[in-house]
Chains A and B, each alone.
Chain A
Amino acid sequence: MSNKIDRDVVHHLERLARIDLSPDEVEMITEQLGRIVGFVEKLQAANVEGIEPTSAMSHEATEHVRDDVVTSSLDRAVVLGQAPDATQEYFRVPRVIGKADE
């Protein structure tokens, strides 16, 4: 397994994370991610054999489920009022497939 962070890995991460980077940022982040990944490599020295992972933190003895009663929710017009683009009852997004011509 190769843990080397190079430009190709960073370009792949850009796509996975949906974040475009400028060419300068790609250079910088390639170098820094490489060092950070090198730093976290020290975990390989921990003896974790047979240890269960802790994935969530909960001190509750039992799962708690809220009573099934109808309560008010946020006002739709107020929520849509925060959107960069909305139409009547919906958030409006740019086109999903095909060419970007209107």
Chain B
Amino acid sequence: MSLHELSIFDLRRRIAAGEVTPLEACDAALAQIEARDRDVHAFLDVHAAHARDSARNLMASGKGRSLPLGGIPVAIKDNMCVEGTPTTCGSRILGKYQPPYTATAVARLRDAGAIVIGKTNLDEFAMGSSTENSAFGPTRNPWDLSRAPGGSSGGSAAAVSAGMAAASLGSDTGGSIRQPAALCGVVGMKPTYGRVSRYGLVAFASSLDQIGPFARTVEDAALVLNVLCGKDERDATSASTPVPDFTAELGKSLKGVRIGVPWEFLGSHVDTSVRTAFDRTIDAAKKEGATVVEVALPNADFGLAAYYIVANAEASANLARFDGIRYGHRTPKAQALVETYSKTREEGFGREVKRRVLLGTYVLSAGYYDAYYRRAQQVRSLIISDFATAFERCDVVAMPTSPTPAFKLGDKTDDPILMYLNDVFTIPVNLAGLPGISVPCGLSPEALPIGLQLIGRAFDETTLLRAAAGMERVADFSRGAVAPLPKGARA
């Protein structure tokens, strides 16, 4: 097995034993980027020289062998700040912006010995489900280059899927980690709201956004999560809840785990290939001793509508800061101040961002606030209580991650509502602030990966990860696999 294909767990074992150096691990990832990223376009910026310097420093200090992520190459979604390198958010409006500080999540990875090898592509400001809304061109799915990797963290998912990084960071506001993880055949996790500091993450919807890891195995995701979580004085919404060792219970069987499935909610939304893989995996979990119970999420069907009001209302406020004054692009065409704002934003924002900011502005505007925004927040309360009721009967809730496998690039770009339907199963989890994880559970007849989503109680990532590791074990998918080279690849 080549170095770039190794799990974090295996790579760490070899680095700790002195069999592999951090520089070799780093170079293997960079070579894989060289080989596959011309086709995939997962990266907006590769920090090759800096990454190799970091690897050498880890070797010189001897820390590479002992730190928990020593020598592990990681990629970062380009809406998180890394000091001294461009952060674009997939947008033209940030121009040549180079943040003067580093996001806490990235700093924690580095402190643990991880090597940041580059920044990954995304839908502009994380608004989208296909990475086609990037101002710098789409990312392609490593399993099939004619298809989308999902989004908005499509670059981070594709980078891990194609073996260009052992792990990566994404952000998840309505499914932006879990859905691309499903479409690219990797593990993607959104921790409980508040688990991971968002200092240095460019805000989209502040009551929903959460940073989380992509990796090729559940165990690897747990190893990264161990480093990411915890209180940060720089983010008032970060939680002071103690952080356990998330790998502690991964070896336990599914025996006694109660899995709740909202069969009625799944009913009308799911593609046959996804339903087949989902049912097969649930049956396999039963054989390993899990108990499967039916749960009801009667208000989950309202989730999508509530989300597009709440998220876009918050986005319209958060994105007000991009006005051409303090950083990024400023229009050369305006003479007065207000005109400067309006023209800068016209030139800098792409279509989907304009659409969402205008929708958010509309639902918050005079006369419509109660009908839309307040009602959406009430529906949010109903969804929170639906999950609370479900968790009286089960330990985790299972659903497909995405209703379909990866779709063709361009298929849904003309119809925003069709695109939004991708997130029907992931959005309720953000509205309720719960942890969720997507695990590969099979392949479609066209050999496209399919993801199974598990949802846990707030701050009970330990149980969630144990169940996810169990699903990974029983699923009909080669655990930890790098996406095979697809037809038409140039490598």
Contacts and interface: CB of A to CB of B under 8 A. Distances in A.
Interface of A: 1, 3, 5, 9-10, 12-14, 16-22, 25, 28-29, 32-33, 35-37, 39-46, 48, 51-60, 64, 66, 74-75, 78-79, 82-85, 91, 93-96, 100
Contacts of A74: 100-101
A82 B87 CA distance: 12
B358 A17 contact: yes
Given A33-B362, A59-B433, A18 B193 contact: no
14 contacts: A17-B358, A18-B323, A20-B342, A33-B358, A40-B376, A43-B309, A43-B372, A43-B375, A44-B375, A46-B378, A52-B381, A53-B378, A91-B325, A95-B335
B336 A94 contact: yes
Interface residues of B, number: 75
A75 B74 CA distance: 28
Interface in B355-412: 355, 357-359, 361-363, 365, 367-368, 371-372, 374-382, 384
A73 to B, nearest CB: 10
B336 A58 contact: no
Contacts of A18: 320, 323, 338, 341-342, 345
Interface of B: 95, 97-98, 100-101, 192-194, 207-208, 233, 236-237, 239-241, 299, 302, 305-306, 308-309, 316, 320, 323-330, 334-343, 345-346, 349, 351, 354-355, 357-359, 361-363, 365, 367-368, 371-372, 374-382, 384, 416-417, 420, 433, 458-459
Contacts of B376: 40, 43
Nearest to A40: B305
Contacts of B416: 32, 35-36
B374 to A, nearest CB: 6
Contacts, number: 179
B346 A42 contact: no
A21 B345 CA distance: 9
A84 B349 CA distance: 17
Given A36-B416, A56-B207, A95-B336, A1 B371 contact: yes
Given A51-B381, A91-B326, 8 more contacts: A3-B371, A5-B362, A33-B362, A36-B417, A43-B302, A48-B378, A66-B233, A83-B326
Nearest to B459: A59
A33 B374 CA distance: 19
